């Protein structure tokens, strides 16, 4: 029986899905830890309550969530789409703009893994243009590979490197793509450097899209709630391909609460606390002989290059401190990404690191 199913699946599963390596989320990677610093989550859960009637289908685009996020982001409500995490928006853009076997999507590694996983799932051709040595856009290489590209993902601040893309480069990218492609700027971590947000550019560049999430500074990764900001005609196009009920009613309920003025104030307090803990960790690591470089970060994580990261990663893992290995990513040999957690968690990282006898 088992064999029959295997044979059947081999025959009928789409080729690109057979070849697909699923996104290795922090949860899928496992580990037995007390200190979870591998998914850029906030360490403590907000307390929210549910009031929804569950007998009714939810609104597709819950009004309170849309209007409150629009107010928070400083855009019009018709320029906002709410989705099942920013990850769903990454997919919707592909579904709306890229035809398999015809169009291409572009992104610039090292960067967030879902751009490639989603493209593979849909069977969309990928134009992979590595970023420059200092993790900025390689505009010349981008320009030379624009044929068939309908969609470009850029990430600023970038995951996992933590840096911002230069404004001047983004402007050039937006100018070079006008009338031919969508440029999606992933601002999942923008709350940690809010003054760098690009919403003001939406008026000037109608082909620009901004991705946001409640998973990071809003501390609600488990809620699965993200936002797309764009020209209202782009939002309307995405509404054609979104599921009829993308958000469960309790999710909409809790997202609306998180976006009340006191929720936004709490989020800002979190950002300050994370910055303080980040400063502490950077200072402590800077005295460690095994550290080659700590890269500047505008986010709730830092990327650290070690002389030899494998034994460090494993030593921490075995002691219950779970970090994210980035050493397989393009140009990130011996790099580990460390999410900034509580003060106690940062002290645990430092304590365990000191206890490791590896070089
Ligand atoms: C975490 C993350 C996302 C996904 O956010 P969700 O809303 O949880 O789906 C998107 N982009 C980047 C760069 C991220 O780090």
pLDDT tens-digit map of 302-320: 999 999 999 999 999 999 9
- Report whether residue 158 contacts ligand 1, using a CB cutoff of 6 Å: no
Number of domains present in the structure of the chain? 2
The alpha carbon of 55 and the centre of ligand 1 are apart by a number of angstroms equal to 31
Same domain for 157 and 132:
yes
Residue 52, pLDDT score:
85
Task: Give the end of a domain, one of 196, 227, 259.
Answer: 259
Q: Residue 249 and residue 232: Cα distance in Å, rounded?
A: 24
Please give the span between the terminal C-alpha atoms of the chain, in angstroms, as a whole number: 52
- Report whether residue 136 contacts ligand 1, using a CB cutoff of 6 Å: no
Residue range(s) defining the domain that contains residue 268? 24-40+263-355
Q: Residue 230 and residue 210: Cα distance in Å, rounded?
A: 6
Taking the CA of residue 112 as reference, the ligand 1 atom at the shortest distance is 13
- The CA distances from residue 281 to 159, 201, 341, in Å, are 19, 35, 10
- Report whether residue 247 contacts ligand 1, using a CB cutoff of 6 Å: no
Same domain for 214 and 73:
yes
What is the distance, to the nearest Å, from the Cα of residue 161 to the centroid of all Cα atoms in its chain?
12
Same domain for 250 and 173:
yes
Taking the CA of residue 226 as reference, the ligand 1 atom at the shortest distance is 7
Q: Residue 312 and residue 60: Cα distance in Å, rounded?
A: 46
The alpha carbon of 357 and the centre of ligand 1 are apart by a number of angstroms equal to 35
Within a domain: 6? no
* Three-state secondary structure call for residue 63: helix
Task: Give the end of a domain, one of 226, 259, 292.
Answer: 259
Taking the CA of residue 216 as reference, the ligand 1 atom at the shortest distance is 1
Same domain for 183 and 115:
yes
Q: Residue 210 and residue 199: Cα distance in Å, rounded?
A: 7
Same domain for 177 and 320:
no
Q: What is the CATH number of the domain that holds 96?
A: 3.40.640.10
- Report whether residue 221 contacts ligand 1, using a CB cutoff of 6 Å: yes
Same domain for 103 and 68:
yes
Residue 29, pLDDT score:
64
Within a domain: 305? yes
C-alpha triplet 332, 334, 336: angle, nearest 5°: 80
Within a domain: 51? no
Within a domain: 56? no
Residue 27, pLDDT score:
64
Residue 193's H or E segment, with its range, is none
Same domain for 303 and 253:
no
Within a domain: 10? no
Same domain for 195 and 327:
no
The alpha carbon of 240 and the centre of ligand 1 are apart by a number of angstroms equal to 22
Q: Residue 236 and residue 128: Cα distance in Å, rounded?
A: 29
CA-CA-CA-CA torsion sign (310, 313, 314, 316)? positive
Within a domain: 351? yes
- Report whether residue 86 contacts ligand 1, using a CB cutoff of 6 Å: yes
Same domain for 187 and 116:
yes
Same domain for 280 and 234:
no
Q: What is the CATH number of the domain that holds 311?
A: 3.90.1150.10
Task: Give the end of a domain, one of 228, 259, 290.
Answer: 259
Taking the CA of residue 39 as reference, the ligand 1 atom at the shortest distance is 1
The DSSP 8-state label assigned to residue 184 in this structure reads: E
- Report whether residue 156 contacts ligand 1, using a CB cutoff of 6 Å: no
- The answer to whether 316 and 310 have CB atoms below 8 angstroms apart is no
Within a domain: 191? yes
Residue 34, pLDDT score:
85
The alpha carbon of 65 and the centre of ligand 1 are apart by a number of angstroms equal to 19
Within a domain: 9? no
Same domain for 268 and 254:
no
Q: What pTM was computed for the model?
A: 0.95
Consecutive 10-residue runs of the chain (359 residues): their mean pLDDT? 84 90 69 86 93 92 98 98 98 98 98 97 97 98 98 98 98 97 98 98 98 98 98 98 96 97 98 98 97 98 98 95 96 98 97 90
Same domain for 249 and 181:
yes
Burial call 282-294: b when 16+ CB within 10 Å, e when fewer:
bebbeeeebbeeb
């Amino acid at each position: 029986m088992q064999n029959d199913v295997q044979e059947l699946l081999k025959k009928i599963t789409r080729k690109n899905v057979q070849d697909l390596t699923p996104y290795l989320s922090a949860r899928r990677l496992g580990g037995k830890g007390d200190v979870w610093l591998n998914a850029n989550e906030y360490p403590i859960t907000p307390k929210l309550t549910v009031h929804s009637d569950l007998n009714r289908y939810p609104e597709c685009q819950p009004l309170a969530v849309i209007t409150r996020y629009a107010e928070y982001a400083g855009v019009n409500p018709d320029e906002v789409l709410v989705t099942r995490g920013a990850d769903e928006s990454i997919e919707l853009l592909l579904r709306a703009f890229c035809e398999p076997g015809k169009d291409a999507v572009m992104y610039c590694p090292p960067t967030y893994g879902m751009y490639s996983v989603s493209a593979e799932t849909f069977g969309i051709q990928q134009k992979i243009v590595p970023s420059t040595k200092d993790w900025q856009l390689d505009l010349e290489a981008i320009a030379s590979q624009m044929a068939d590209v309908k969609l470009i993902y850029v990430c600023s601040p970038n995951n996992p490197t933590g840096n911002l893309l230069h404004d001047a480069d983004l402007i050039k990218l937006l100018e070079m793509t006008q009338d031919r492609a969508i440029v999606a700027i992933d601002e999942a971590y923008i709350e940690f450097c809010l003054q760098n947000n690009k919403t003001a550019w939406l008026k000037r560049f109608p082909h620009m899209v901004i991705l946001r999430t409640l998973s990071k500074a809003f501390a609600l990764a488990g809620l699965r709630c993200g936002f797309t900001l764009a020209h209202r005609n782009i939002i309307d196009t995405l509404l054609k391909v979104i599921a009829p009920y993308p958000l469960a009613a309790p999710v909409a309920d809790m997202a609306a609460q998180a976006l009340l003025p006191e929720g936004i104030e709490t989020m800002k307090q979190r950002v300050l606390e994370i910055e303080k803990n980040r400063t502490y960790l950077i200072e402590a690591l800077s005295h460690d002989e095994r550290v080659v470089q700590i890269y500047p970060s505008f986010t709730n994580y830092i990327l650290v290059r070690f002389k030899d990261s494998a034994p460090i990663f494993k030593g921490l893992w075995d002691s219950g401190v779970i970090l994210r290995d980035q050493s397989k990513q393009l140009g990130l040999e011996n790099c580990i990404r460390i999410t900034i957690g509580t003060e106690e968690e940062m002290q645990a990282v430092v304590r365990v690191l000191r206890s490791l006898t590896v070089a």
